[in-house]
C-alpha cells in the first residue's frame, strides 16, 4: 500500500485484523462498505434492518458486518454501488454479493432486519459485543449510515450501554451538505447530548415526510461523505493523522467545518452519564506529567569571529539623559525615566520700528 511505502502507516496489514459493523447500506453505507472492502478491512457486518442471518461465520482474516432492512429499488440507481439487475433483492444480500466479488478475503456477516424493534435490538446488541474477528469479542467500530433519527438514537443507546466507539454520518435532505461524527462514550458528546429538534421535541418523523416527495440525493455528495467517513475510520484504526470528532461538508461553498463537543453532564441517556463518570475516573488515575521549564539557550554568547555588540551611547551620556528616579515601594522599578528639560539660552533679537509701511518697503526692494 502507498500509505506504508510513504512512511505514513508503519503496519498497514493490521487493517486485516479489524471488524467493522455498518448499519444502513444505502447511498452512504454501500459506498462505505465498498471502500473498506477494497482497503482490505478484516470483517464487515452489514445490518440491513430485516432478519436474515446467514450461517455462523468462523473467525478469519477480514470481517465486515452489514445491517439493513430495505430492498434495492430502481429509484436507487441515481446513487452509487447498486445496479438495476439487483432490484428486488435485500440491500444486504445484494451488497454482500458485489463486495465478495471485489475482495473474497473479507468475511461478511449480513443481517436483514430493523434494529429499532424490541426483538431485533437485543440481537443487534449481541452482534456488536460478540461479532468481532474473534467470535466473542466486540467489533472494533460501528458506523451509522442510516437516514433517520430513530435508528441513530437506537445505535446511540446500544453503544452507550456497551461503551462502544462509533461514527455517525449523514447527508442533508437538500443533498448538498453532509457530516461525519466520532462518538466515544464518556469522552465526547453522544447523539443524545445535543439532540436535533426532531428528537428533542419527540416529533414523529413519519409526520414530517410528505407523500410522494422524497429527499433529494446526489451521488457526488454521498460519495464525498462516504470518502471522509472511511478516511476517518482508517486514521482511527491505524493511528495516523488527525481523527476528526466532527467534520462537515457544504457543497455550496466548498466549506469543511470541524469541531469537537464535550459530553453533556445532564444527558437524558443514563448510560452516557455513567460512561462520563467512568471516563473521569480513568483520567484521574493517569500519572500526572510534570512540566519541566527549559532554560532558554544563550545564542552567540561567545563566537569564533570575535564579534561584539558595542553601545554607541556612553555610560555618562546615558546617565545624563535619564531623569530622576521616583521614590517607589520596595520591589517596584521603572523601565525608563523621563529626562529633565534643559533650558537653552536663546538670544532675543529686537528690530527697531522704522515707521515705514509695507508698500514703502516693497518699493525699496524693487529699486535695489
Q: Which residues are the active-site residues?
A: 214
**Cα(353)–Cα(368) distance, integer angstroms:** 21
Q: Which of 231, 209, 211, 219 is nearest to 175 (CA)?
A: 219
3-state secondary structure of 108: strand
Q: Does residue 155 come out as left (phi exceeding 0), alpha (psi in the -120 to 50 range) or beta?
A: alpha
Helix 91-102, helix 29-39: angle, nearest 10: 20
Per the CB < 8 A criterion, the answer to whether 96 and 239 are in contact is no
Nearest alpha carbon to residue 105 among 190, 188, 17, 31: 17
Report the C-alpha gap between 365 and 172 in whole angstroms: 90
Spatial contact of 158 and 125, defined as CB atoms under 8 Å apart: yes
Residue among 35, 243, 52 nearest 44 (CA):
35
Q: Which three cell numbers stand for residue 195?
A: 439532540
Question: Which cell numbers in the block locate residue 43?
Answer: 470483517
Residue among 71, 17, 69, 75 nearest 46 (CA): 69
Amino acid at each position: 500500500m502507498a500509505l506504508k511505502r510513504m512512511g505514513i502507516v508503519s503496519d498497514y496489514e493490521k487493517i486485516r485484523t479489524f471488524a467493522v459493523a455498518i448499519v444502513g447500506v444505502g447511498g452512504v453505507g454501500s459506498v462505505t462498505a465498498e471502500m473498506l472492502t477494497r482497503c482490505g478491512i478484516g470483517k464487515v457486518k452489514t445490518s440491513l434492518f430485516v432478519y436474515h442471518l446467514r450461517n455462523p461465520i468462523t473467525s478469519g482474516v477480514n470481517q465486515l458486518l452489514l445491517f439493513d432492512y430495505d430492498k434495492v429499488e430502481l429509484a436507487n440507481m441515481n446513487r452509487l454501488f447498486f445496479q438495476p439487475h439487483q432490484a428486488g433483492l435485500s440491500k444486504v444480500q445484494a451488497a454482500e454479493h458485489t463486495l465478495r466479488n471485489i475482495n473474497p478475503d473479507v468475511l461478511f456477516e449480513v443481517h436483514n432486519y430493523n434494529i429499532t424493534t424490541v426483538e431485533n435490538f437485543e440481537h443487534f446488541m449481541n452482534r456488536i459485543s460478540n461479532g468481532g474477528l474473534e467470535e466473542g469479542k466486540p467489533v472494533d467500530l460501528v458506523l451509522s449510515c442510516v437516514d433517520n433519527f430513530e435508528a441513530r438514537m437506537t445505535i446511540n443507546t446500544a453503544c452507550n450501554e456497551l461503551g462502544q466507539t462509533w461514527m455517525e454520518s449523514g447527508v442533508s435532505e437538500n443533498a448538498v451538505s453532509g457530516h461525519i461524527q466520532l462518538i466515544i462514550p464518556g469522552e465526547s458528546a453522544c447523539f443524545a447530548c445535543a439532540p436535533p429538534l426532531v428528537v428533542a421535541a419527540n416529533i414523529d418523523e413519519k409526520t414530517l415526510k410528505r407523500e410522494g416527495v422524497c429527499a433529494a440525493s446526489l451521488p457526488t455528495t454521498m460519495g464525498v461523505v462516504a470518502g471522509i467517513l472511511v478516511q476517518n475510520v482508517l486514521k482511527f484504526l491505524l493511528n495516523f493523522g488527525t481523527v476528526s470528532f466532527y467534520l462537515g461538508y457544504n457543497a455550496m461553498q466548498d466549506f469543511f467545518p470541524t469541531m469537537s463537543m464535550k459530553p453533556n453532564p445532564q444527558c437524558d441517556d443514563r448510560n452516557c452519564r455513567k460512561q462520563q463518570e467512568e471516563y473521569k475516573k480513568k483520567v484521574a488515575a493517569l500519572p500526572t506529567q510534570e512540566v519541566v521549564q527549559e532554560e532558554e539557550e544563550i545564542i552567540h554568547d561567545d563566537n569564533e569571529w570575535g564579534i561584539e555588540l558595542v553601545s554607541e551611547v556612553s555610560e555618562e551620556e546615558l546617565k545624563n539623559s535619564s531623569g530622576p528616579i521616583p521614590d517607589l515601594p520596595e520591589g517596584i522599578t521603572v523601565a525608563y525615566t523621563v529626562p529633565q528639560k534643559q533650558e537653552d539660552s536663546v538670544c532675543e533679537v529686537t528690530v527697531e520700528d522704522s515707521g515705514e509701511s509695507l508698500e514703502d518697503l516693497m518699493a525699496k526692494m524693487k529699486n535695489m
